[in-house]
Structure 1
Amino acid sequence: MSSTTQAARPPGTGFLDRENTVAKAGFNRWLIPPCALAIHLCIGMAYGFSVFWLPLSRAIGVSQAVACEGMTLGSALFTTTCDWRVSDLLWMYTLFFVVLGASAAIWGGWLERAGPRKAGLVAALCWCGGMVISALGIYVHQLWLMWLGSGIIGGVGLGLGYISPVSTLIKWFPDRRGMATGMAIMGFGGGAMIGSPLADMLMRHFATAQGVGVWQTFLVLAAGYFVFMVAGALGYRVPPENWRPAGWTPPAATGNRMIATGDVHLKDAHKTPQFWLIWTVLLLNVTASIGLIGVASPMLQEIFGGRLIGADGVAFLNFTPEQRTAAAAVGAGFVGLVSLFNIGGRFFWASFSDKVGRKTMYAVILALGIALYAALIPFAASSRLLFVFVASFCVIASMYGGGFATVPAYLADVFGTKFVGAIHGRLLTAWSLAGIFGGLITGNIRDARIASGVPREAVYQPIFFTMAALLAVGFVANLLVRPVAEKWQMRQEAKGGAKPKLATVSSTAAASVGGDYGIGRGGVSGPAVIAWLAVGLPLLWGVYITLMKATALF
């Protein structure tokens, strides 16, 4: 390999610095998505932490929870003699996604400067180190240590790990922005599919008459996740400045007005109406899904009752213990199926956006969501059409995931690619708020309806209509997105003067191989096949386990 075709390395830079992650000639860009998946499949276990709640609720009693009358959330944080309630443990979810959004917003700019390798390693240390601290918290029975470990420190790892590949993938795949980010963010949705059954197996292995096996499971998962996340972080590379795939023409040249012709600086992005319109779209799309997905299992059981288990006419509240167990298995299958469509939707809708454009894709999923929530889902629920109801929610879950996966490409189209990772980090504050609003809307309406004596099968109808209204507002916000005004776009000379010279390619090399500098080619190669197998086999195992659970529905 000729030294003239390699990206220059500025003297005095460290191994983790962005300058030392610039790809050399001959590098295969298809090695980057497996690196992103390796990190996202690990941090995606945040969605699967519910597998720990019931065992942890009897961490002291083991076979039966040791309940203490009058225990408050404050006293639960420090008690060593009472078992935690599930409601105490559920705060971990809130911490996960609030800290994820906050850390992505705070350190997104640093990530762009430091590069994905350093950010990925910090994410690994925070996520896995947080699990180790949580294991200690379980061992000494201190809930505040769990909140600190996985909730706060782990939440920082979630934020950095989530956004670390976004800017890199968009720069490597300018011709397939949606597909590239969809592949990576698909891993975040798939993490629970692998982690939950694996954690269940580990807890069964470590469980004894004296303990439920959770702290040991945390340590094993932390070690395994650390290996995968470090491998992914070290595998990251960034393309040289001005790199483009061979034979590819930038979209701006095609006359697509929604594709930015320049970059908007991080400090200016939030000053534009486009940022807040897309922020609103993400907020409302997530809010309209996350609350109902969170109660998917009880919702199905309450609406369809005995129909789920071949006992038509038996209401949910009249189930025998055996019927409750059977219905819970069906509900778990529904949750697994929803999870699978959440993952598949991240790749499908993001890839679809490459064909029709990001704005059109969001218009489609928001309009389809309005139709499902306002008409088809209420009709299926009142008419007890189980297949239609399940299929409708699978589509809703796919659009929930698709909205997450497509928004980085939407931002790159509107604001350019230079600061897209940091801008995406700030936009994720919408996710943090949606996680709170979705649960509050669903929970408050559900509780109020139950308290007023409404039959369980009719409890959810107002929630469906509320979600349709939220999506309608999101639809209008998306329609209002226009190209960013030229005043916000960085001038070419300013852009060139402000940025550090991260990578250069010799003029001889550029002239001899064209705009791609001999980088990004390769497609199917030995290292790429090995990398894809390393992340693909665990993901396929998770899909298999999920499908086996989903068979209970049928």
Structure 2
Amino acid sequence: MDKFNNKWIRAVLPALLIHCSIGTVYCWSLFKNDIALFIGKPVGEVEWAFSLAIFVLGMSAAFGGKLVEKDIHKSSLLSALFFVAGMAGTGFFIYQKSLIGIYFSYGVVMGIGLGIGYLTPVKTLMLWFKEQKGLATGLAVAGFGLAKVIASPLMEKLLGERNNEGMLVNATNIYTMFYILAGVYLVMMVIGHWLLKKPAGYEEENVQTQSFSYKKVLKNKTFIGIWLMFYINITCGLALISQEKGMLAFIGYGAIGLVSSLTAIFNAGGRIVFSAWGDRLEDRNSIYKIIFMSSVAAILITIVFDGINNSIAILIIILLCVINAGYGGGFSSLPPLLSDRFSLDSISTVHGLALSAWALAGLTGNQLSAFILEKTESYTIVLYVIVALFTIATFISLLVVKTDKVSIESEASISKEKMTAS
């Protein structure tokens, strides 16, 4: 059995199994219209199930970090149970034509599974890959990004044929699909749960975890700076990515599906490349400077050449690829950056707190660009707003996120240690 007790079998494979399962939350756009038609509700109302899922993901990660820190086996199992129950429950409530039930199952129950599952493999990966923490987290988070590419063809197959108006020929496939997927992901996540294991000799709970101070972290300027730039990166990414199809249609570009696949590859690739690149840099915060500055440059070039109104497809495609790569890279570079600043011992808890930025960005990102378009009907104005936000994020990265390692032990713990020493 020793030959199976290595970082690829005990960390990378289970991380991919878990993240490739929960990452299918991003397949929502494939079937949201079908759900709306089946239950007889407007798409706008149904859309809130996805926003709620992302919000609960971030908040359950924020509050679930301590659980993950204490016992990865309990957290990985809970993640599988909540995610699969949410998936099956969504199918049941679609059958019942209950929008509230869909909000609860897809948004709340599945959202809890998403948050706990997203956190669970991260620390284990960094423990196995101590010298390549960025590569390790990049591999796992890439699974979350690639899930859409992998699952989309399966979902299209399960949904079946469509008529000339794009409606499902067999409408009942929309809820049976969720039952089938629940079974598939249950198997994948339980195997991941069974395989996931920390390196030999590592204790599940340690002194640092027990003495962790939420107050110290939440009041720390470096953490606040990281939280803000992470929030801005997600908000800007979602604001532009959510308008991807609309922008391409506006300039009259036909191969939207091809570009969508290309940007998905850049999204997943950015998660590996940027975080692995960070392993070679003296300060991982430099990765965020690179992400923000490259995003600003891509947007400014598009604005200067008026790429949208002049229908310059190559500029729009490059812009979308750069933003997608930076969006993915921002996720994968976060855990190793937090580990460098706040130590590896409590990374699950600190990472969970930082993911609360994802929760809020999930509610504001899509809505930001939608609001601007509603008021101005101009994609160029959307770009101006996004470039301004990326510029603010650049200054935060340069001026607020310090290089010093931060102590996050509680005051009581520090006093106890001093008394023991004396």
Does TM-score exceed 0.5, indicating one fold?
yes
SS in 1 for 2:279: helix
> Alpha carbons of 1:496 and 1:212: their partners in 2 closer, same or farther (altered >3 Å)?
farther
Partner of 2:68: 111
Partner of 2:224: 276
Partner of 1:362: 288
Q: String of CA shifts for 1:301-342, please: whole Å, max 9, x gaps.
A: 11x12xx2xxxxxxxxxxxxxxxxxx4xx2233222211211
Cα offset for 1:440?
Answer: 2.5
Q: 2:316 & 2:121 partners in 1: Cα distance?
A: 36
Q: 1:496 & 1:235 partners in 2: Cα distance?
A: 38
Cα offset for 1:374?
Answer: 2.4
Cα offset for 1:377?
Answer: 5.1
**Aligned residue runs from structure 1 range 23-34, under 5 A:** 27-31=5-9, 32-34=11-13
| Structure 1 contact 109–266 (Cα < 8 Å) conserved | no
Cα offset for 1:98?
Answer: 0.4
SS in 2 for 1:418: coil
Partner of 2:402: 482
Partner of 2:382: 463
Cα offset for 1:218?
Answer: 0.4
| Structure 1 contact 266–422 (Cα < 8 Å) conserved | no
Choose the corresponding residue for 1:163, options 116, 119, 128.
119
> Alpha carbons of 1:238 and 1:347: their partners in 2 closer, same or farther (altered >3 Å)?
same
**Aligned residue runs from structure 1 range 494-513, under 5 A:** none
Choose the corresponding residue for 2:106, options 134, 141, 150.
150
Cα offset for 1:487?
Answer: 5.6
> Alpha carbons of 1:339 and 1:486: their partners in 2 closer, same or farther (altered >3 Å)?
closer
| Structure 1 contact 49–196 (Cα < 8 Å) conserved | no
Partner of 2:277: 352
Cα offset for 1:129?
Answer: 0.6
Partner of 1:447: 374
| Structure 1 contact 415–484 (Cα < 8 Å) conserved | no
Cα offset for 1:437?
Answer: 2.1
Q: 1:240 & 1:208 partners in 2: Cα distance?
A: 52
Cα offset for 1:212?
Answer: 3.8
Query: Which protein has the bigger helix share?
Result: 2
> Alpha carbons of 1:368 and 1:208: their partners in 2 closer, same or farther (altered >3 Å)?
closer
| Structure 1 contact 55–212 (Cα < 8 Å) conserved | no
Partner of 2:420: none
> Alpha carbons of 1:92 and 1:377: their partners in 2 closer, same or farther (altered >3 Å)?
farther
TM-score scaled to structure 1, two decimals?
A: 0.68
Cα offset for 1:438?
Answer: 1.6
Q: String of CA shifts for 1:412-456, please: whole Å, max 9, x gaps.
A: 010000110111111011111112222222111101113xxxxxx
Choose the corresponding residue for 2:42, options 85, 88, 105.
85
Letter of the aligned partner of 1:187 in structure 2? G
> Alpha carbons of 1:385 and 1:173: their partners in 2 closer, same or farther (altered >3 Å)?
same
Q: String of CA shifts for 1:33-72, please: whole Å, max 9, x gaps.
A: 1100101001111000111122223326xxxxxxxxxxxx
SS in 2 for 1:355: coil
Find out whether 1:410 has 2:357 as its counterpart: no
Choose the corresponding residue for 1:424, options 339, 344, 351.
351
Q: 2:407 & 2:88 partners in 1: Cα distance?
A: 49
Partner of 2:186: 226
Rg larger for: 1
Partner of 1:334: 259
Q: String of CA shifts for 1:196-227, please: whole Å, max 9, x gaps.
A: 22111011179986634111110000000000
Q: 1:348 & 1:205 partners in 2: Cα distance?
A: 38
Q: String of CA shifts for 1:497-518, please: whole Å, max 9, x gaps.
A: 8xxxxxxxxxxxxxxxxxxxxx
**Aligned residue runs from structure 1 range 124-135, under 5 A:** 124-135=80-91
Letter of the aligned partner of 1:471 in structure 2? F
Q: 1:486 & 1:148 partners in 2: Cα distance?
A: 38
SS in 1 for 2:219: coil
| Structure 1 contact 298–331 (Cα < 8 Å) conserved | no
Q: 1:376 & 1:50 partners in 2: Cα distance?
A: 27
Partner of 2:92: 136
| Structure 2 contact 342–408 (Cα < 8 Å) conserved | no
| Structure 2 contact 95–175 (Cα < 8 Å) conserved | yes
| Structure 1 contact 189–342 (Cα < 8 Å) conserved | yes
Choose the corresponding residue for 2:326, options 393, 399, 409.
399
Q: 1:204 & 1:210 partners in 2: Cα distance?
A: 7
**Aligned residue runs from structure 1 range 4-403, under 5 A:** 27-31=5-9, 32-59=11-38, 83-114=40-71, 116-204=72-160, 211-241=171-201, 265-267=212-214, 268-302=216-250, 304-305=251-252, 308=253, 327=254, 330-356=255-281, 357-376=283-302, 379=305, 380-403=307-330
SS in 2 for 1:58: helix
Letter of the aligned partner of 1:376 in structure 2? T
Letter of the aligned partner of 1:27 in structure 2? N
Cα offset for 1:192?
Answer: 1.2
Cα offset for 1:26?
Answer: 8.0
Tell me how many residue pairs correspond in the alignment. 403
Q: 1:242 & 1:137 partners in 2: Cα distance?
A: 43
Identity of aligned residues (%): 30
Cα offset for 1:486?
Answer: 6.2
> Alpha carbons of 1:414 and 1:204: their partners in 2 closer, same or farther (altered >3 Å)?
same
| Structure 2 contact 341–406 (Cα < 8 Å) conserved | no
> Alpha carbons of 1:420 and 1:266: their partners in 2 closer, same or farther (altered >3 Å)?
farther
Letter of the aligned partner of 2:308 in structure 1? A
| Structure 1 contact 179–351 (Cα < 8 Å) conserved | yes
| Structure 1 contact 377–392 (Cα < 8 Å) conserved | no
Partner of 1:504: none
Q: 1:486 & 1:344 partners in 2: Cα distance?
A: 31
> Alpha carbons of 1:358 and 1:232: their partners in 2 closer, same or farther (altered >3 Å)?
same
Letter of the aligned partner of 1:418 in structure 2? D
Unmatched segments (≥5 aa) in structure 1:
2-23, 61-82, 244-261, 309-326, 451-458, 498-554
Q: String of CA shifts for 1:81-116, please: whole Å, max 9, x gaps.
A: xx12211211112111100011001111111112x2
Unmatched segments (≥5 aa) in structure 2:
418-422
Q: 2:256 & 2:406 partners in 1: Cα distance?
A: 52
Cα offset for 1:119?
Answer: 0.8
Letter of the aligned partner of 2:360 in structure 1? L
SS in 2 for 1:384: coil
| Structure 2 contact 90–102 (Cα < 8 Å) conserved | yes
